[in-house]
Chains A and B, each alone.
Chain A
């Protein structure tokens, strides 16, 4: 079976030009879709995703929860099956052929994933973790507990996922580190007007690249520049960005960068930490055990080389293979095209929600914008709790998330206990959005 996605050249421009959605705004350098690329055809892509197939047992689902976890193309599932059926053995151990091959597959996945995000030295700078949460905890435990002490400052933002809050709150508790916060400003963007004062004296700025609640895509440049001026390192949480846009960690100018496999068509159980080699070199190990050592004596140990120093125990081998296949799939589709598709579809969704539901549906997030907004759409239906909204949508096979999205401080900032969130990805189309918009009429009818 071919691992190539079914890319259908959609030359019928008229079919897509529904109102303003076909319009393309100018894009910032680095995220401009290459000229001449045809639009992707989400319906054709869906044929690659077994769970999204219309003959799925239980019926077709309208999957609008990719910000929580994305679905998998057949090529990812096949790569993992093939690995287990033909090549499984523990890595970095055996001298027999399949063990060598398993090691080769694992390490080549590392390089592929590193290249995918522009890591200058993927073979040494890409550390596989369990998820982005573990990637951030690795930095908090290894780097921060080694480098920071009482009175040192870490700057965060109030829009962070708990994964990029709680490790630092724990550090503050343990070590007396001071936490400061960038606040939410106009149009759901971070307020960076006072950034220099905020980062003054800071050792680390840790922030998300894109909000998992608001759909805000953070403009990292002014934050990174201010951090550099202040001599602080920058950790960026790329979990909500890497699946959706081309990312180049070197160009971003950050020092630590984390993301997770299952939001980018890969399996659960694998995440990634990238950090500059010179930083990783001086960081102490995180978890202790096999694999992360070069030598162990009864009175001590010598840590292994990068990146294995940070990978204690048998790693997620099949998951790495699956993530490698996911990266291949996304690269073949083209992230510029994924981005362009999602931007147009987001504009369409925001437009339809506003025109069909007016003031009865409030969206918590920036206006449509190909640079500053992603396809994460959080909203409230007047007088209906998000839990009830999601329940009614479920009866029509529509999968959305209701809750606080692991961002309770942001919920308090928005003044709501929870939101309903629909999130778009490469396999969603206008029909999915229409289903959502129509079903929200049922919601209003039932609770109105």
Chain B
């Protein structure tokens, strides 16, 4: 049986206690997108500034459990300053890390995780995800996977909305 130490790694608790990039950005120019986890009532709001194809700034607000909050915090640190294309790769890589293990556990994937994975041969190896790799232990707690992926799905939706607004 997976122990608590698999889930609550010190780096995760650190991001939970001291979340990075917490706050809001003025809209416009920033784009605001909300995500909900109906299971536990968690709410994430992502504020996204995209300039010349680069995620120039990113802020997180909302409330949630340690996993959703620390995942959002790590995501903000990892995504800020990267190009939209890089961020999309990062999102796919993270969600892949969260879903491969899910299927290995034999649990019933809900079809949402990994939906962006199709044909993506550019996924980053979990070992190159830096701090984010600490969240790999979450997959041993299937009910918490949605907590970890909430902010990533929200960011992904935000990027879609920014791009469709520009096109």
Do the two shown chains form a genuine complex with each other? yes
Residues of A that sit less than 8 Å from B by CB: 384-388, 391-392, 395, 402-404, 408, 411, 417-418, 446-447
Q: Is the CB of A387 within 8 A of B8?
A: no
A65 to chain B, nearest CB (A): 14
| Number of CB contacts from chain A to chain B under 8 A | 51
Stretch of B21-29, B40-48, B107-115 lying at the A interface: B40-48
| A421 nearest CB across to chain B (Å) | 12
What is the CB-to-nearest-CB distance from B143 to chain A, in angstroms, rounded to a whole number?
A: 9
List of 10 A-B pairs having minimum Cβ-Cβ separation, nearest first: A385-B65, A387-B65, A417-B41, A418-B41, A404-B41, A387-B40, A388-B66, A403-B40, A388-B65, A395-B4
Binding site secondary structure of chain B = mixed
11 contacting pairs across A/B (C-beta < 8 A): A387-B64, A387-B144, A391-B4, A391-B144, A403-B41, A404-B40, A417-B40, A417-B63, A417-B64, A418-B40, A447-B16
Residues of B within 8 A of A386 (CB): 40, 65
B76 to chain A: closest CB distance in Å? 19
Given that A386-B40, A418-B41 are known contacts, is A447 also in contact with B64, CB under 8 Å in the complex? no
Which of B's residues lie within 8 Å of A, judged by CB?
A: 3-4, 7-8, 13, 16, 39-43, 63-67, 69, 141, 144, 147
Q: A391-B4, A411-B41, A446-B4 are in contact. List 11 more A-B contacts (CB 8 A).
A: A385-B69, A387-B42, A387-B67, A387-B144, A387-B147, A388-B8, A391-B141, A392-B4, A395-B3, A402-B40, A403-B40
CB-CB under 8 A from A418, the residues of chain B are: 40-42
* Contact yes or no, B43 A403, CB < 8 A: no
Q: Provide the bound-state CA to CA distance between A323 and B141, in Å.
A: 34
CB neighbours (8 Å) of A404 from chain B are: 40-41
Contact between B13 and A447, CB atoms less than 8 A apart: yes
User: Bound complex: CA of A446 vs CA of B43, how far in Å?
Assistant: 23
Task: Give the docked Cα–Cα distance between A385 and B62 (Å).
Answer: 13
Contact A391 B41 (CB under 8 A): no
- B33 smallest CB distance to A (angstroms): 18
Interface centre among B63, B66, B67 (most CB of A within 10 A): B66
Nearest B residue to A448, CB-CB:
B17
Nearest neighbor of B7 in chain A, beta-carbon distance: A391
B85 → chain A closest CB, angstroms: 33
Closest Cβ of chain A to B91, distance in Å, is 23
B13 / chain A contacts, CB cutoff of 8 Å: 446-447
Q: Give the Cβ gap from A370 to chain B, nearest Cβ, in Å.
A: 31
Cα A402 to Cα B42 with chains together (Å)? 12
| Chain B proximity of A371: nearest CB distance (Å) | 31
Nearest CB in chain B: distance from A231 CB, A: 38
A402 and B7 CA atoms in complex are apart in Å by 17
Q: Do B4 and A385 have beta carbons less than 8 Å apart?
A: no
Question: Do A385 and B43 have beta carbons less than 8 Å apart?
Answer: no
Residue of A nearest to B42 (CB): A417
A417 touches B43 (CB 8 A): yes
Q: Which residue of B lies closest to A59 (CB)?
A: B1
CB distance from A157 to the nearest CB of B (A): 20
B69 neighbours in A (Cβ, 8 Å): 385
